[in-house]
Structure 1
Amino acid sequence: MTRGIGWYVHHQGAGHLQRAWAVAGALPRPCTILGTLAGFDTAGLDVVDLPDDRPLGAAAFDGRDGEAERPQALHYAPLNHPGIRARMARIAAWAERTDPALLVVDVSVEVALLARLLSVPTLVVRLAGTRTDRPHLEAFRSATRLLAPFPAALDGSSVPDWVRAKTLYAGFLGAPAQGLTEGSRDIVVVFGRGGTGGSLADLAAAARAVPDRPWHVLGPVSGSGEMPDNLHLHGWVPDVEARVAQAALLVGGGGDGVVALAAAQAKRFLCLPEERAYGEQTEKAEALARLGAAIVHPGWPPASAWPGLIRDGLALDPAVIGALHDPDAVRGCAAAIEALVRHV
């Protein structure tokens, strides 16, 4: 009987699940997705839905557990949390029942270390940013290999050599290319699930500052007020890729999903990195700027800056960011995982 693998997905944003879904479909062996999956479409997937581990009674989750002390190898280990107790027990029960050949961990230091204690080999996902704190490094040490869901050209300069050597650079995973659209004047703004979304007031000010172009906004937008005629809010849409294909310029954060979209479709890109732990978006944006693959502005620009930013964005050579897209990334990642499984 072929041993399967597991893929643990974090619940912050949709990118973790999208990566798992894309690669699982290319694997030659069964793959089970483990995570807190309420609110996500998991049709057709083999899943283990895990109890929520976010702080009890908290309106938002900032990754902190509020504990005065914790073991230095851990990031998030609150005490007296029944959801975490049940979550870890369910992962352990799944591992004992199925004898997995590998667990991909995207992402959690605690789950990576639990898997090591359960004698399960791991492929630990390494996101962008400066992750040289002790918990991250201990998780990296515990792993059989590391997986970077971005090209090596976007890696940070502060990554230790031994971490680089242990890393499989898979490239962007799960962003299909679309046919190029010529002659469009559209500015397409994308807000993902992992951020705070857009502000109607800010978007309206930007659209008024560049009134000769249609602005199309995908994702959540908060606030109310008068909208200029060239601003169009579409909310969540099932055809993000097709709508981005219509863009003369793509505007979005520095998360993997939006950057992968820009690369897959070779779109001129104005990157507005958001504040994230470990500088995940800012370091990736800095690498894009260094390569000449994007125009970068930290956070949402003031209205007066938009004409110049749009002008500079439209002057980019889209072939530069397009070169970061590997059309075989998903198949290559699946093949690398299969090779790893056969040798651990």
Structure 2
Amino acid sequence: MGLTGWYVHHHGAGHLTRFLAVRPHLPGEVVVFSSLPRPDALPPATTWVRLDRDDDGDPAGADPTVGGLLHWAPLGHTGHARRFAAVAGAIAERRFDRFVVDVSVEVALLVRLLGVATVVVTQPGDRGDAPHRLAYASATRVLAPWPAGVHNSPAAPTLVEVGGISRFDGRTREVEPTPGTVLVLGGGVAERDLDAAAAATPGTRWQHAGSSARTWLADPWDALQRAEVVVAAAGQNSVADLAAAGARAVIVPQPRPFDEQVATGRILTARRLAVVAPAWPGTDAWPALLDQARNLRPDWSQWGVTGAARRAADAIAQVGA
């Protein structure tokens, strides 16, 4: 199957989680480029190239958008130059058959200018700006990690909607939810807010699976199964994980560029898949929100999680084959 390059964006853990879900289904060798540290365990035939950061110092004052033509190309930033040189140097040394970009308009354009076919991962929200349109138009394939018709997908003839990609695809539920349990999935929630929500809902037991060393769960599958209600943001991986677990959920979209999570929240509401709150609820709102979530009967099959990671790998492998 040749050689695949894969750019993993460093914001949050979602892009890396998506790569790790798809990689076992993708044949051949893969070279990953990212500012993130190398994970402790990588699949066989996978190499990790650590890139310099390009968001330290004061890059925002160096015309990073080139007057709106791009998203991030700051003038005079050494880290930015070195990361692009690392990608270009690797392509000059070896023949890449395809290159997955998740996500960066600038990396997608660089790789295509160097003569490598790109698979650009798209995301929800309003992606109709000029840089996004350019990246999609230059791509050999645009990969959407959601089922057909869920979002206003980019107008690209090369678009492939594969379904929600979850690290838990293929696992089966082994236990039923425990009444009165609430799992808060993900970081970004203050402990005082969690304590206040728990105090306002007597008879419930709240658990936080967050990003700190104290709350981190490397594998939250058991906690997801046991939770009567899951509270989560509207990120693509979180929603796909909820779908894989068949969870009842309260979703609180977080502020993201291009209204990414707000757009997902609207879809979840329209399809009656979750209770969606526009911001972290006040203390008095939690009893009613949990009751609404408990009464949901979400048909998560419409999120298309089963087989999505394999479908994504197949769509990638077809490029440059």
Q: Contact 2:14–2:237 at 8 Å: present in 1 too? A: yes
Classify 1:220/1:82 alpha carbon distance in 2 versus 1 (closer, same or farther; 3 Å): same
Partner of 2:311: 332
Q: Which runs of 5+ in 1 are unaligned?
A: 59-63, 222-232
Match of 2:300 among 292, 300, 321: 321
1:67 is matched with 62
- 1:184 is aligned, of 161, 178, 182, to 178
Divergent runs of 4+, >4 A: none
Give the alignment's TM-score, normalised by structure 1: 0.86
Residue 4 of structure 1 aligns with an amino acid whose one-letter code is L
Residue of 56, 61, 80 corresponding to 2:76: 80
Query: 1:38 & 1:29 partners in 2: Cα distance?
Result: 23
Is it true that 1:175 corresponds to 2:174 in the alignment? no
**8 A contact 1:103–1:115 mirrored in 2:** yes
- 1: CA distance, partners of 2:61 / 2:292: 44
Is residue 283 of structure 1 aligned with residue 263 of structure 2? yes
Structure 1, 294-303 or 24-33: larger mean CA deviation: 24-33
Residue of structure 2 in register with 1:104 after alignment:
100
- Aligned partner of residue 46 in structure 1, secondary structure: strand
Secondary structure in 2 aligned to 1:54? Answer: coil
State yes or no: 1:248 paired with 2:239: no
CA distance, structure 1, for counterparts of residue 141 and residue 189 of structure 2? 37
Q: Hey, what does 1:92 align to over in structure 2? A: 88
Cα offset for 1:261?
1.1
Structure-2 change in CA distance of 1:135 and 1:167 (3 Å): same
Tell me the number of residue pairs that the alignment of Structure 1 and Structure 2 aligns.
315
Q: Which residue of 1 aligns with 2:10?
A: 11
1:178 Cα deviation from its structure 2 partner = 3.8
User: AA paired with 1:323?
Assistant: Q
CA distance in 2, matches of 1:262, 1:153: 19
Query: Within the alignment, does 1:53 sit opposite 2:48 as a pair?
Result: no
Q: Which residue of 2 aligns with 1:219?
A: 210
CA drift at 1:71: 4.9
Q: Which runs of 5+ in 2 are unaligned?
A: none
Question: Normalised by the size of structure 2, how large is the TM-score?
Answer: 0.92
Aligned-residue offset at 1:206: 0.7
Identify which of structures 1 and 2 has the higher relative contact order when contacts are C-alpha pairs closer than 8 Å and 6+ apart.
2
Task: Judge conservation of contact 2:38–2:50 (CA < 8 Å) in 1.
Answer: no
8 Å CA contact 1:149, 1:170 repeated in 2: yes
Look up the equivalent residue of 1:281 and give its one-letter code. Q
Query: What amino acid maps onto 1:134 in structure 2?
Result: A
